[in-house]
Homo-oligomer: A and B are copies of this chain.
Amino acid sequence: MEFNEKQIDILLAAERLFATKGFDGTSVRDIAQEANVNVAMINYYFGSKDKLLDTFFEWRVPDFMINVDELALVDNALDKVDVMVDRYVKSMSSHRKLYRVIAIESTLKQRMLISEAFKKLKIHNLDVITSIINSGIAEGVFKTGNDPILIHSMMMGTFMNFQMNQVFLQDQLGIADDDGYGKYIETTLTQFIQKTIKALLTYEK
């Protein structure tokens, strides 16, 4: 999919607005104004507001796949967990606000195309986790009986919770600005998720 400059302006404007006001809360006129573009251009280029959301989705989703290439270079399972979580959080964190849009809209009513693209993403990330657990079991450092789905849910949910409750958490953690919050996610939160997964996979009983 190739987009011209104006189309990208629209996609970026939509991203900003969806992230703060949601899809239903954002009008095409809002988007047009934010992108400095005539209202009709949105329908001209994307067909409809719904199709804009779909296109926006396909445009961004590839960014959220965990990169497997880097993981192949790591030789022990505990370190693989660290790298996997780090890459996962970094990719999500770099499109923080967008990810909230995806997560919210994919759960609402029949946003089927979105759900499909999102499903592929989750299955891919799930596969990565499964292979890491299996390699850890083969090494003898991880216990058996841990469901990758639950671990993935935990990782994803914990991260998402930081997106959804930024105002509250930023206040509770005494973080001044958005940048500081992003840094916290990429350091302390990342370490926490890494520690949690390793603790879980090595836990007796």
Which residues of A line the B interface, CB within 8 A? 20-22, 24-25, 100, 103-104, 107-109, 115, 118-119, 122, 126, 147, 149-150, 153-154, 156-169, 172-173, 188-189, 192, 195-196, 198-200, 202-203
Contact = CB atoms under 8 A, between A and B. Distances in A.
A163 B107 CA distance: 9
A107 B160 contact: no
A60 B162 CA distance: 23
B161 A153 contact: yes
B24 A22 contact: yes
Q: How many copies does the complex hold?
A: 2
A164 B107 CA distance: 6
Contact of A25 (B108, B161, B162): B108
Nearest to A126: B172
Contacts of A158: 150, 153-154, 157-158
Nearest to A103: B164
Contacts of A149: 169, 172-173
Contact of A200 (B115, B168, B173, B195): B195
Contacts of A189: 150
A122 B25 CA distance: 26
Contact of A164 (B160, B168, B188, B198): B160
Contacts of A118: 168
7 contacts: A22-B108, A24-B24, A25-B109, A104-B164, A107-B164, A158-B158, A199-B202
